[in-house]
């Protein structure tokens, strides 16, 4: 079986949550005998093909961007050629350009779509896009939501429940490096061990401004790993409210990130908008056995982090309640340790890459069988 994934970005151009998901799924299904191609756009490449961890990555040049939607003229021909070779085409939503390419290619192949997030910010443009979106979602054979929480709270998905199922995102711990003792010792000397950790791209919906307000006057140490468009704004805000125990470390290597995950006291994930549909960085915290604090936004974050079991879940946009949650974990080490232990066991039960890969392969076979019967 050959599967083609199509999304606007992929390694090594971008290392976001969807890219990590595609990598984990491509790797997991490849290990089970599936031939996998990934087609993405790149600002710095014409048509390029390379092999990466068992699957084949194709990149075409991105020509322009409108409202966070990347466009490529070369993608039409390259997608059509790869789709002809594929048994199944696997889309990743939202990316309106993929809808256009899908209909331009006039596909007769089985198609599935992983629904990563509602469109939250671009509400005016959504009104223009909605007719195409509805046609696209109706046309694909199967839709996959990444958590039951998101399926139940998405107005868009409510119109396609008859062909939507839930497969949680999974991670393979073996794809993460083991930090060497020297690296651990260096970070321990520089930062210590009883610190809260945030990992992620610094974007508007991550809720970091709320977290900074919650830390005001507490003295609790916070380490922020990641870069992004609001980094300067966050640094300025931290200085204005007098936070002196916060480290903005920028983007780090995987080895350094893993070392900080190992050393951290708890993982924070204060995203306050539905743009945060799942939270792979939060899942990484569970995978490393860390207690978590997240916000209740009706998405997969509360499927990963169960309030009172694996950590604490607080209302969004409420620094006072978040501050109390920080205090509860920081002043109760035994509780924090037990929540971290439960978080790891929940990861093992629901969120491994093996479980995810097996579920998608079963879905691939089901869709192929359905197409054969219909023919």
Q: How confident is the model at residue 275 (pLDDT cuts 50, 70, 90)?
A: confident
Domain ranges in the chain with CATH number 3.40.50.2000: 2-172+352-370, 173-350
pLDDT of residue 151: 92
- The answer to whether the bond into 56 is cis (omega within 30° of 0) is no
CATH 3.40.50.2000 fits 2-172+352-370, yes or no: yes
CATH node for 173-350 = 3.40.50.2000
Q: How does pLDDT run across 138-167, given as a tens digit for each residue?
A: 999 999 999 998 999 898 999 999 999 999
Q: How does pLDDT run across 73-91, given as a tens digit for each residue?
A: 999 999 999 999 999 999 9
Between CA 113 and CA 94 the distance in angstroms is 10
pLDDT of residue 45: 63
Between CA 28 and CA 283 the distance in angstroms is 17
Name the E strands within 16-94. 35-42, 48-52, 55-61, 64-66, 69-71, 88-93
Q: Is pLDDT above 90 for 65? A: no
pLDDT of residue 105: 94
Q: Is pLDDT above 90 for 276? A: no
Residues 6+ apart with CB under 8 A from 231: 202, 248, 250
pLDDT of residue 120: 65
Edge to edge, the sheet with strand 266-269 lists 246-250, 222-225, 196-199, 266-269, 292-295, 311-314
Q: Give me the chain's average pLDDT, please.
A: 92
Q: Is pLDDT above 70 for 364? A: yes
179 phi/psi in degrees, rounded to 5: -65, 135
Percent of the chain with pLDDT over 90: 77
Q: Is pLDDT above 70 for 122? A: no
Instruction: Average the pLDDT over 160-178 and give the result.
Output: 95
Q: How confident is the model at residue 301 (pLDDT cuts 50, 70, 90)?
A: very high
């Amino acid at each position: 079986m050959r599967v083609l994934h199509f999304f606007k970005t992929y390694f090594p151009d971008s290392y976001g949550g969807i890219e990590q998901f595609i990598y984990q799924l491509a790797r997991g299904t490849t290990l089970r005998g599936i031939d996998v191609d990934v087609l993405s756009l790149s600002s710095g490449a014409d048509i390029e093909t390379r092999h990466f961890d068992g699957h084949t990555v194709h990149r075409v040049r991105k020509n322009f961007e409108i409202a966070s939607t990347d466009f490529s003229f070369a993608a039409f021909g390259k997608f059509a050629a790869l789709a002809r070779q594929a048994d199944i085409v696997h889309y990743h939503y939202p990316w309106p350009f993929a809808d256009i390419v899908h209909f331009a290619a006039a596909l007769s192949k089985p198609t599935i779509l992983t629904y990563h997030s509602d469109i939250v910010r671009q509400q005016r443009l959504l009104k223009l896009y909605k007719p195409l979106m509805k046609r696209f979602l109706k046309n694909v054979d199967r839709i996959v939501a990444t958590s039951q929480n998101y399926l139940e709270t998405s107005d868009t998905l409510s119109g396609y429940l008859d062909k939507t199922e839930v497969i949680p995102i999974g991670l393979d711990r073996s794809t993460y490096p083991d930090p060497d003792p020297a690296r651990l010792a260096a970070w321990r000397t520089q930062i210590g061990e009883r610190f809260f950790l945030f990992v992620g791209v610094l974007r508007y919906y991550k809720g970091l401004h709320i977290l900074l307000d919650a830390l005001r006057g507490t003295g609790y140490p916070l380490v922020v790993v990641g870069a992004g468009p609001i980094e300067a704004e966050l640094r300025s805000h931290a200085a204005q409210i007098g936070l002196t125990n916060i480290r903005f470390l920028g983007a780090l290597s995987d080895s350094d990130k893993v070392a900080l995950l190992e050393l951290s006291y708890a993982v924070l994930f204060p995203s306050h908008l539905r743009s945060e549909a799942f939270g792979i960085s939060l899942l990484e915290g569970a995978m490393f056995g860390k207690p978590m604090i997240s916000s209740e936004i009706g998405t997969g974050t509360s499927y990963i982090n169960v309030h009172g079991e694996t950590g604490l879940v607080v209302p969004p946009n409420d620094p006072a309640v978040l501050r109390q949650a920080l205090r509860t974990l920081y002043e109760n080490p035994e509780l924090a340790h037990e929540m971290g232990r439960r978080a790891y066991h929940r990861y093992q039960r629901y969120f491994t890459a093996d479980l995810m890969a097996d579920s998608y392969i079963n879905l691939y076979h089901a869709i192929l069988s359905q197409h054969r019967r219909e023919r």
